[in-house]
Amino acid sequence: MAATVASSGPQPFLGESQRLRRRRHILPFSCCTTKHSTPGQLKFEPDAPKPTRINRTHNGKAGREVIDRSEVAPRGVRDYVKLSRELVKSGAGPVRWFSPIECAQCAEGSPLLLFLPGMDGVGTGLVRHYERLGKIFDLWCLHIPVNDRTSFEGLVQYIENSVRSEETRLQGRPIYIAGESIGACLALAVAARNINTDLVLVLVNPATSFKRTLLRDVSSLLAAVPDSLHVPISSLFSLLSGSYIRTTTKKGQNLGIEEPLPILSEGLTDILPSLSLLGDILPKETLVWKLKILKEASCYVNSRLHAVACQTLILASGNDEILPSREEAERLCTILPNCRVRHFKDSGHTLLLEGGIDLVTIIKGAGYYRRTRQTDFVSDYLNPTAYEFENVSNEYRSITFATDPVMLSTLDDGRIIRDLSGIPDEGPVVLIGYHMLMGLELGPLVVQFVKEKNILLRGIAHPFMYDRNAEMLLPDYSSFDKYRIMGAAPVSGANLYKLLAKNSFVLLYPGGAREALHRKGEEYQLFWPQHSEFVRMASRFGATIIPFGAVGEDDLCNILLDYNDLKRLPFYDFLDKKLNEGPVGAVRMRSNYEGEVGNQELHPVVLSPKIPGRFYFLFGKPIKTKGREKELKDRDNAQQMYLHVKSEVEKCMSYLKEKREKDPYRSLLSRLVYQATHGFDSAIPTFDP
C-alpha cells in the first residue's frame, strides 16, 4: 500500500518542524512541493530499502577516535535506476525539492546543499553520496517531472527564490549548489544573478560547452525519428553516459559514438534494461525539450560568466563521451576568479554514479567545506574516514615499503625504545622537528601515528598549498588534497592557537620551506629563526613539546639540480617569477627575515634516485610546559626553551646518523632477504637503541 504526501503549497521549503516530522515517515524520499505547481499528491512505496550501516571499532584510546570508521553499504547505478523510477511514477506534479530520508541526521549548523540534476531531471544522481553528504549538509534535491515544460529562466527563478528564502534562515551559513550538466548551468545562472549571496558551487561536467558538441544537432534529428526508435536512441544517451560500457554490432566490432545511427540502433537492441532509463522516463518530445533547454542554458550562462565571483569547484571527467568536460573545465577556470578544478581522467559523463568517487572527500580535499563565510581550517575540519585514510596510506605504500621507517621514542626516564610509547596519549602536544628534503618523511610519519597511537597529527603547512594561483602551476591540481584531508592547516598564529585549544597533536617545522628545499650539501642542517616562535603559545595551553629528528633522505636520492643550479639555467627566470613573485609570490614566508632563514624561495628540485636505504625517526624526551606558564611568558625564558628544543632536535639527528651505521638491515637488499626468510609481514629488526 502506497503512502501519500500532500502538496504543501507554494513556499520554497517546508518549515523546520514539518521537515523533521516528514523525515520520520518510512519513505524513500521526504518531499515538498513548491512554485510552478498545482495542488496534487505524491505517492511513494513505503518499503524502500534503507542502506546498511557498517560500524567498526578501533582499539585506540576510548573517547579519541580520529578516524570515522562508520561505513555505508555501497550503492550503484541499479539504486539510481530504481529510485528514479519510483520518483517518476509518483506523478506529474510541479517542479519541487525533496530530501532523501538518509539525510535526516546532519550536524547542527550544517550548510544547505541544493542538488540540481542533469538532463534526466529526476534528482537522484547523488544516491551514492546520500549518507555522507547528509552528515555534513542539509541536502535538498531538485525534481523536474518529465512532463514539466518550465523554461530555463523559469527554473533559474525558482531556484533563486529558494536560495533567497533560505539565506535569511541560515544566518550567515553558506549555501552550496551542486549541479551536473545542465544543472551546472542552472547553478552558474543563479550565482550570476545573486552576486551578494554567499554561494559555493560544485559543478560536475558543466554543459556550458553545448555549442561545441554534436548535441546541438541531435534535437532536429530526434524530431524526425519515428516513435518506434525512441527507446534505442534514449538508450544510446544512457550508454554514452557511462565510460566503461560498450556494445557491439552483429559482426562483433566495437562501436564508438562516431558510428552511423543505423548501425548503432542495430546493436542497441540487446542493451541491459537499466540502460534504457532515459527511454523509460523521457518521452521523445521531452527529450527534444531538454535539448532545447540545454541550448538555451549554454547561451544564457556564457553571456553572464563574468558576473560569477563565488567559490566554484569543477569536477571534470576525462572520458566524457557527451561533453568536452576536461577542456571546458580549464576554460571556465580561466574565466571564473575563484575557481578550482579536479580532473578524473578515466571517468565518464555520469561521474557521481561511478564507484570510487566520493563527493564529500573531493570537497574536503579542495578545502571547500565551511560552515561560515570564511573557511576555518580547525573548526570546519572533518576527520578522515577509514576509506580516505586507506587511500592516503596507499599513496605512501611504496616509499614506506622501500624505506621501512624505524620509529623510536624516549620515555620520561630517558630510555629510548622502538615504538611510540614515549608519545603522550593526550594533547595538546607540539612535535617540533627537522623537515626532510621535499617533506619525504611526512607520509610515513602521519600514517604510523594513526596506526600505532590512534593520533592524527595536524600539520602546520605552507600557504602555497592553499593558494589557487599556486595550484594552477602544478601538473596535478589535486596534489595537496591529501594533506588537507589529513588535517593540515595553513601556518598562522591563529590556527596554532585554535589547534592547541582543541588539545590537538600539532606537527610543526620551524625550518619550513628552506629546510624542505635545501641545497646540495645542506642535509640535516636546521634553518630556524633566531627567536622563539612557538614556546609561549605552547605554554599558554600547557602543551607538551616533543623535539624529534629524522634522517634517511640521503639514502633515497641525490640532488642533481638545486635552486642555485636552476638560477643559472636559461629561461628559468620565468618560472622563478611565477613561483616567487606576483599572486603566488604573495604567499612567501619570512621574506622580512635576514640570512638564510629569509631565503624561502619555492622551486623544483631535480633528483636522481638511489637504491633506497632506511628512514629513522627519534622522538626526544617530552618537555612539559604545564605549570610553567608564568615562567615561559617571559621572552628570555621562552628563548632559552626555544634554543633547548633546537639543540634536542640536533641531538636526535646526531644519534640517528651514528646508530644507523650499526643497522644490519639499513640496505633494501638485506631487508628483502630478511622478509623472504621470515615472512613479508614480519617486523624487520634494527640497531639496539
- 3 state SS of 313: strand
Q: Using the predicted structure, report yes or no on whether residue 260 has a pLDDT greater than 90.
A: no
Q: What average pLDDT does the chain have?
A: 81
Contact 96, 71 (CB under 8 A): no
- Any idea what DSSP says for residue 49? P
Whether the per-residue pLDDT at 3 is higher than 90: the answer is no
The gap from C-alpha 47 to its chain's centroid, in whole angstroms, comes to: 34
Q: Residue 129's closest CA among 387, 488, 480?
A: 387
The phi-psi region of residue 181 (left if phi > 0; otherwise alpha if psi is between -120 and 50; otherwise beta) is left
pLDDT at 412: 92
| Angle, alpha carbons 42-46-51 (nearest 5°) | 115
Contact 603, 578 (CB under 8 A): no
pLDDT at 528 over 80: yes
Q: Which residues pair with 617 in a beta bridge?
A: 407, 550
Which of 87-101, 199-213, 260-274, 432-446 is predicted least confidently? Answer: 260-274
Between 85-89, 211-215, 577-581, 587-591, the lowest mean confidence (pLDDT) is in: 587-591
Q: What is the pLDDT of residue 584?
A: 56
The alpha helices in 226-370, defined as continuous H runs, are 230-241, 261-267, 277-281, 284-302, 325-335, 359-365
Confidence of residue 585 (pLDDT cuts 50, 70, 90): low
Domains and CATH numbers, the chain: 3-212+296-365 (3.40.50.1820), 215-286 (no CATH), 386-563+599-665 (3.40.1130)
Q: For residues 338, 344, 348 and 351, what is the CA-based torsion angle, rounded to 10 degrees?
A: -60
For 338-355, what is each residue's pLDDT tens digit? 999 999 999 988 899 888
Q: What is the pLDDT of residue 282?
A: 66
Query: Is it the case that residue 475 has pLDDT exceeding 90?
Result: no
The string of pLDDT tens digits covering residues 660-688 is 999 999 999 999 999 999 998 899 999 99
Give the per-residue pLDDT at 202: 98
**Of 55-64, 381-390, 479-488, the least confident:** 55-64
**For residue 22, is pLDDT > 80?**
no
Please give the radius of gyration of the chain, using alpha carbons only, rounded to the nearest integer: 29
Q: Distance between CA atoms of 117 and 136, rounded to whole angstroms?
A: 20
Q: How far apart are CA 119 and CA 100, in angstroms?
A: 20
Contact 482, 367 (CB under 8 A): no
Would you say residue 530 has pLDDT above 70?
A: yes
CA distances 106 to 100, 134, 365, 485, Å, are: 12, 5, 20, 20
Band (pLDDT 50/70/90 cuts) for residue 442 is: very high
Top pLDDT among 287 and 498 is at 498
pLDDT, residue 216, reads 61
Q: What average pLDDT does this structure show over 122-139?
A: 92
| pLDDT band (50, 70, 90) for residue 255 | very low
Which has more pLDDT, 442 or 25? 442
Which residues have a Cβ under 8 Å from the Cβ of 628 and sit 6 or more positions away? 539
Q: What is the pLDDT of residues 317-341, one digit of tens each?
A: 998 888 899 999 999 999 999 999 9
pLDDT for 581 equals: 74
